[in-house]
Each structure stands twice: as structure tokens, then as C-alpha cells.
Structure 1
Amino acid sequence: METLVTPVLDFISAHRAWAPALAFLFAFAETAALVSLLIPSTAILIGVGGLVAAGALDFGPIFVGAALGALAGSTLSFWLGRRYGQEIVSAWPLSRRPDLAERGRSAFARWGAGAVLIGHFFGPLRSVAFLLAGAAAMRAAAFQLANAPGALIWAYVTPKAGELGGDALGAVWRSLGA
């Protein structure tokens, strides 16, 4: 994971103008069905928050890029689930654990939009939560009513965690007289 995270953060630090677009790309990858299993987007976005703490980037454009990316990725996943739900659920890697797909459908039937909102905040589930919402035939309006605030909160909290962590480390460093 570090083999990808460090070069990406170095690139973003050296090319500030690309930061919002890359925040979009990595947030999209984190919320797009199954892509987040391949790309350490959350680690990158937390690292971007650290660059904000270091003064290398401004938070606002990062948040906007990440929010738009999270909305786009989760919405695409939802529509893929609506269109190809059963085919996707029966394909690898979900086919290896059919009980998970059924539990996902049950969660959306039971909690509806709340499952979408919470889906933004649970790592590996994030990559399939929105896909399963579509496969469970959740209404698009109900999906977006939960998806939009979930995506916005996630896009704020993820890089902000890196920024706050960077601020805390900076304060400790300064208190040590370094």
C-alpha cells in the first residue's frame, strides 16, 4: 500500500493544481464498486489531509473534489447494482460469499436509507454497499437522500482526520523544541 500512497502524495504536494481532481479520482475509486479493494484511496485522502496541515494544500478544494467523487462513485455503483445486480452478485468475488449478498439485501430491506448512510463509513463494505443497494431495488430517491449526506460527511471527515492528525503531530513536534 505504501508503494502507491507515498508517490501519489509526493505528486500532489508538488502539483497543487491537481489536488482537487485527484481528490475526486480517489474518492470515486473508494466508493465505486469493488475498485476500493484495489486502491488505498482512504489512506491517500488522509495523507492529503496531512498535506493540508503542513500548509501545502487548501482544505476547501480537496473537500469539493472528494465530495463530488464520492457522490459519483457511489451513484455509479448504485446504478450498476440496479442494472446488473443479480449478475454482479453471482460473480466473483461476491459469489464466494453468497450469504453476504443476502445479508446486504436484508439490511437494505430492514434499514433502507440508513444502511446507505452508514455504508460510507465501513471500509471494505463501502465498495459493495452501494452496489447492493441497487441490487436490492432501493428507490433512487431514497438512495440519494441518504447517499448525498453520507458522501459529504465522509468527504469532509476523511481528509480532515489527516489534517487534525498532522496538526497534532506538529504540536507535539513543536513542544519537543524541534
Structure 2
Amino acid sequence: MFDVQHWLVSLPPIAVYLLVAGVIGVESMGVPLPGEIVLVSSALLAATGVVEPEWVATAAATGAIIGDSVGYAVGRRGGRPLLARLGRRFPRHLGPAQLARAEQSFARYGVWAVFFGRFVALLRILAGPLAGALHVPYRRFLLANAAGGLVWAFGTTYLLFTVGRAAEHWLKDISWAGLVLAVLAGLASTWWLRRRAHRFETAEPTPDAEPVRAGSE
């Protein structure tokens, strides 16, 4: 992550914003990319004044919402065969076991899997295509998608920005310690959401759980 941040420093701010939106957007379409690493690195960069936190967060949220929506459209059109092809192309991230866990999450939690999926690497990649393949109603999907994207993007960015600025102020002579503190604070900030979201990855389907039905409102 530190190498990513050093590389971002060499880019003009507009390029950083576009990169954040692009990487997170493509990841949300179903392609495994380090979206969260790019967001965390950019948020820490904002704490140094190189880029603006509001634009980092806006870029991340925009990429997440649009990327998930594109993934939804592709998944709705391609269905299960598309997910199978993605699994063969990225077996470590989107193999049969990962797909099965993601489907269990949707069957048990419905659109809440989309919201909390933004905080889980597996569902962050699969939420859009899988929701489309399962024919989750788009309006419900978009609401959960937008809410999750905004909370994740602005929450992560501004918490890391705030802690990073405080660390820079009090730890000027040991900047590496401030950076480590900011990273640890960023991880701690999503602790509750990640614990809640972890249930989506490990949950076993219950007898009364009903899968999402196509066309249900």
C-alpha cells in the first residue's frame, strides 16, 4: 500500500481522482482489483494536502455506484454463464466456493448483502453481477448500492483524512508513525461494519431462507 501511495504522489490531483473512480468502478463490475487499497492510499494522501478529501470520496462513491450498476446490467444480461466464466478467469477470487457463499448471502439477506457487501472484498466484487443474475429488482438494488457506496467511500476517506491530519500535527518528527496510526485507525473504523458484513461470507443458508425471486418488488 505504501508503494501505491508513493506512486500516487507523482500524479496530478485530477489523475488521482480518475484513478480512484476507475479502479473502484472496474472492481465493482466484477473484476478483482485493489479498490480499497487505492481508496485508503488516496485518503492518506489527502491528509498531506496533495489531494482534496471530498473529491477522493466523491470519486470513490461515483465509481462504486456506477460500477455496481454496470455489473448489475452485465449480470442480468449474462446470467449464471457469465459468473461461471468469471470464476474460470479469476478462480482465486470468483471460484465456485466464493460464488456459493455470495449466493447464500443474497438468499439470506437480500439487498442488505449489497449494502454490507461494500465492506467485504468478495461481495464488493460480486454484488453487482450477482444481483443482476439473480434478477434483484433494480430500484431496490440501486438504493442499497448507493447507500453502501456513499457510506464506504465518505466514511473511509474522512476518517483516514482526519486521523492522518491529527497524526501529522502531533507526530511531525516521526511521520512514519503517523502513517501507521492512520492505517490502524482506518482498519478500526470499519470494524463493526466488517464484523456485520463477515456474516455474509460465512452464513449458512437457513431452512426458511428464500432466495431472491426474479421480478419481486
TM-score range, shorter chain: 0.7 to 0.9
Alignment-derived partner of residue 151 in structure 1 = 149
Q: Does 1:22 pair with 2:19?
A: yes
Q: Can you give the 5+ residue segments of structure 1 that lack an aligned partner in the other structure?
A: none
> Please, which runs of 5 or more residues in structure 2 have no aligned partner?
175-217
**TM-score, length-scaled by structure 2:** 0.68
Alignment check: 8 A CA contact 2:5 2:42 kept: no
Q: How many residues align?
A: 170
Q: Tell me the residue number matched to 2:79.
A: 85
Q: Which amino acid aligns with 1:30?
A: E
Identical columns (%): 28
CA distance in 2, matches of 1:2, 1:173: 18
Which one is further off, 25-34 or 164-173?
Answer: 164-173
Which whole-Å CA distance do the structure 1 matches of 2:118 and 2:53 have between them? 20
CA shift for structure 1 position 65 = 1.6
Shift of 1:142: 1.2
User: RMSD over aligned Cα, in angstroms?
Assistant: 2.5
Match of 2:122 among 124, 138, 146: 124
Please, which of 31, 41, 44 is the counterpart of residue 38 of structure 2?
44
**Cα offset for 1:73?**
0.9
C-alpha displacement of 1:144:
0.6
Deviates more, 1:96-105 or 1:127-136: 96-105
Write out aligned runs for 1:93-108 (5 A): 93=90, 97-108=95-106
| Deviation for aligned residue 1:76 | 1.1
Pairing 1:76–2:70 present? yes
Q: Is the 8 A contact 1:42 1:158 kept in 2?
A: no
Matches within 5 A, 1:158-173: 158-173=156-171
4+ runs of 1 displaced by more than 6 Å? none
Scaled by the length of structure 1, the TM-score of the pair is: 0.81
